[in-house]
């Protein structure tokens, strides 16, 4: 039975190993680029036209768009090697990302003393890793795996503080052919598990 610490280390090790392997493979691909077809070049030019001055990481990782990195001149950050990994035909690519959050909590007389105090507080740890596969402009598969662990709380973790390993998001997205420009299409179809954001909170 793996302890919380061992499970966290295992998740981090697997994530870092995967990112390192893909980054290394990406470097080799950049050194010896394959010739692009006319369609591929056209798609890249279209994506580059939408490139922001500064790439923005979004609260919901599934909303990020790194397609403009198909242009090597736009790759200025060390992490660009894993944000855009060409998969071969046309505009197919893979984008990888992750997130590590830590939070320390300390309460005194929680719920008016009904819950035993933890004198030194406790630590909450959250690890997320995602893979975003783009098969052209109309087909996409996104998956995000997360691990949320709690360490040191007297009486054990609260139900919403710990989820050892689970998919936060995993869905297939398709943009119908009735829209000529898939990038600006007002409608797409998503099937699977996804996060929905309501209101104006950041």
Query: Tens digits of per-residue pLDDT, 64-112?
Result: 989 888 888 888 888 899 999 999 877 899 999 999 999 999 888 877 7
More confident residue, 118 or 180: 118
pLDDT value at position 41? 57
Could you read off the pLDDT of 1-46 as tens digits, one per residue?
A: 445 555 455 555 555 454 455 444 444 444 334 444 444 555 676 6
Q: Please give the pLDDT value at position 51.
A: 60
Contacts of 130 (CB under 8 A, 6+ apart): 61, 62, 96, 97, 98, 142, 143, 144, 145, 169
* Average pLDDT rounded to a whole number, residues 150-156: 88
pTM of the model: 0.69
Backbone angles phi, psi at 37, to 5 degrees: -80, 170
Q: What is the distance between the alpha carbons of residues 202 and 126, in angstroms, rounded to a whole number? A: 19
155 pLDDT higher than 80:
yes
């Amino acid at each position: 039975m793996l302890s919380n610490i061992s499970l966290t280390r295992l998740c981090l090790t697997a994530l870092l190993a995967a990112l390192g392997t893909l980054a290394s493979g990406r470097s080799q691909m950049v050194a010896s680029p394959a010739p692009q077809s006319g369609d591929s070049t056209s798609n890249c030019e279209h994506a580059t036209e939408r490139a922001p001055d500064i790439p923005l990481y979004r609260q919901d990782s599934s909303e990020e768009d790194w397609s403009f990195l198909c242009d090597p001149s736009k790759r200025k950050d060390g992490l660009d090697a894993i944000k855009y990994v060409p998969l071969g035909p046309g505009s197919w690519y893979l984008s990888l990302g992750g997130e590590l959050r830590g939070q320390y909590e300390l309460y005194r007389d929680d719920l008016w003393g009904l819950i035993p105090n933890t004198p030194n507080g406790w630590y909450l740890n959250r690890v997320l890793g995602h893979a975003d596969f783009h098969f052209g402009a109309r087909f996409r598969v996104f998956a995000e795996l997360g691990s949320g662990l709690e360490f040191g709380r007297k009486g054990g973790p609260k139900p919403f503080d710990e989820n050892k390993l689970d998919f936060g998001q995993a869905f297939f997205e398709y943009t119908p052919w009735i829209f000529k420009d898939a990038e600006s299409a007002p409608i797409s179809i998503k099937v699977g598990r996804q996060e929905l954001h309501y209101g104006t909170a950041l």
